[in-house]
């Protein structure tokens, strides 16, 4: 019994020495906790200009006050510019809470993978950070505006990104997925676009549309409606809206519109060889379960013929949008953001091995057929509005 007691005391002493505290810890008031980083070129394009939105933990009589700060520095590399921020506040930056990386469109038009090298290598940086491309404004302007909006109404880009699956007009792209798709041969990444706009005289941030990448460079932009099509084909949204035009009009008082709420969707992409054994074609099959969210014209909601006519019109509208977007991307960007290459690889690995080195050229020529099925599950009305 005495022997056991001695062993217990000895183990307690050893554990208290080995398990208490951390040899590499830092007090919170000794670090700047980074939330957002923006990457631009300096004026002469010979250096990077890095802008950081961070939280400065400032000791006060009542405890610690969290003060948002924005710091801009320049360096030959991203890492060098980041290190130069430390003397400005007498604190090193802490990157484990980084949430957003904003890259200016000018930087994105070069080898963006090289620009992001620090964030892939640094042990503190988590790989679930969201990527954005700033268009029309510098990344620095966006970071500084985000800091202002955070203080005014608790807005952050991370919170805005949580709505992506319910909007669909911009993609969700984190650091690890972007790196995977940049190196992937069968599908290319798209990244959400940030712009600054005026609302009643105040600057605001809008996330809408997407930047298209090919060979590690931004090669163009997609509108919100075109982005919705890409996201639809990639099965990357949850509950967005699609506004279909029933009849054209010069304005909203004349145009007939049906706003459909998509409950879920299933997209299948298949490829097949033509009779010559080499050329391929792609079949896109989409099934949508939707409800009528809003209509600006009268309709008999209990008449099966009226519902069928609406179904056919919406299907034709979605099919037309998909074909136009696919053709636009094929001709203007030659970047397979849809994943057609993956379908070719799955259906015919041997053929894919012959095509993959020149897939950008082949992709631009692939004929695409689209089949759309819309299941209208509810109309939101049980009586006629005619």
For 274-297, what is each residue's pLDDT tens digit? 655 567 899 999 999 999 989 888
Mean pLDDT score, 331-350: 94
302 vs 76, 260, 308, 378, CA distance in Å? 67, 17, 11, 11
Q: What pLDDT does residue 20 have?
A: 58
Residue 163 has pLDDT above 70, yes or no: yes
Give tens-digit pLDDT for 308-320: 999 999 999 999 9
Q: What pLDDT does residue 253 have?
A: 78
Mean pLDDT score, 369-382: 87
Pairing between strand 48-60 and 63-75?
A: antiparallel
Mean pLDDT computed over every residue of the chain: 88
Of the pLDDT bands very low, low, confident and very high (cuts 50, 70, 90), residue 380 is: confident
Query: Which residues are 166's β-sheet partners?
Result: none
Q: What pLDDT does residue 101 have?
A: 97
Domain ranges for the chain: 27-222, 223-386
Mean pLDDT score, 117-141: 94
Q: Distance (Å, rounded) from C-alpha 228 to C-alpha 321?
A: 10
- How many residues belong to the chain? 386
Q: List, in order, residues 6 or more apart from 14 with CB less than 8 Å away.
A: none
Q: Distance (Å, rounded) from C-alpha 358 to C-alpha 103?
A: 29
Contact predicate 219/202, CB 8 Å: no
Mean pLDDT score, 258-269: 93
What are the two backbone dihedrals, phi and then psi, of residue 207, each rounded to the nearest 5 degrees? -105, 115
298 vs 255, 289, 295, 314, 377, CA distance in Å? 12, 22, 8, 16, 19
256 vs 247, 305, 309, 310, 316, CA distance in Å? 5, 18, 14, 12, 15
Give tens-digit pLDDT for 44-88: 888 999 999 998 777 677 766 777 789 999 999 999 999 998 888
Q: Name the architecture of domain 223-386.
A: 2-Layer Sandwich (3.30)
Q: List, in order, residues 6 or more apart from 338 with CB less than 8 Å away.
A: 187, 230, 233, 234, 269, 284, 326, 329
């Amino acid at each position: 019994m005495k022997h056991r007691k001695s062993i217990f005391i000895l183990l307690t002493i050893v554990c208290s020495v080995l398990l208490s505290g951390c040899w590499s810890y830092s007090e919170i008031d000794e670090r700047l906790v980074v939330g957002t980083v923006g990457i631009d070129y300096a004026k002469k394009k010979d250096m990077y200009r890095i802008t950081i939105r961070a939280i400065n933990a400032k000791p006060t009589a009542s405890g610690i006050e969290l003060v948002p700060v924005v710091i801009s520095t320049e360096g030959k590399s991203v890492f060098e510019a980041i290190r130069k921020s430390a003397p400005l506040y007498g604190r090193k930056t802490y990157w484990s809470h980084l949430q957003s990386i904003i890259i200016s469109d000018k930087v994105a038009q070069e080898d963006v993978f090289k620009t992001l090298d620090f964030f892939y290598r640094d042990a503190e940086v988590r790989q679930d950070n969201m990527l954005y491309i700033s268009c029309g404004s510098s990344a620095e302007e966006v970071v500084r505006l985000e800091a202002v909006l955070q203080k005014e109404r608790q807005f952050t880009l991370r919170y805005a990104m949580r709505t992506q699956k319910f909007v669909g007009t911009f993609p969700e792209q984190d650091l690890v997925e972007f790196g995977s798709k940049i190196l992937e041969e069968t599908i290319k990444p798209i990244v959400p676009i940030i712009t600054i706009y005026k609302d009643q005289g105040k600057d605001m941030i809008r996330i809408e549309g997407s930047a298209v990448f090919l060979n590690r460079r931004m090669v163009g932009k997609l509108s919100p409606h075109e982005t919705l099509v890409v996201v639809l084909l990639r099965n990357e949204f949850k509950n967005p809206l699609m506004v279909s035009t029933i009849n054209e009009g010069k304005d909203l008082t004349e145009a007939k519109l049906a706003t459909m709420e998509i409950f879920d969707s299933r997209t299948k992409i298949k490829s097949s060889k033509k009779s010559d054994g080499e050329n391929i074609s792609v079949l896109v099959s989409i099934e949508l379960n939707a409800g009528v969210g809003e209509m600006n014209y009268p309709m008999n909601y209990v008449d099966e013929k009226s519902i069928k006519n609406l179904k056919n019109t919406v299907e034709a509208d979605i099919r037309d949008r998909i074909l136009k977007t696919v053709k636009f991307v094929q001709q203007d960007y030659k970047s397979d953001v849809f994943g057609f290459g993956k379908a070719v690889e799955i259906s015919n690995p041997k053929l894919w091995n012959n095509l993959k080195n020149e897939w950008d050229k082949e992709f631009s020529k692939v004929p695409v057929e689209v089949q759309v099925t819309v299941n209208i599950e509810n109309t939101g009305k049980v009586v006629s509005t005619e």
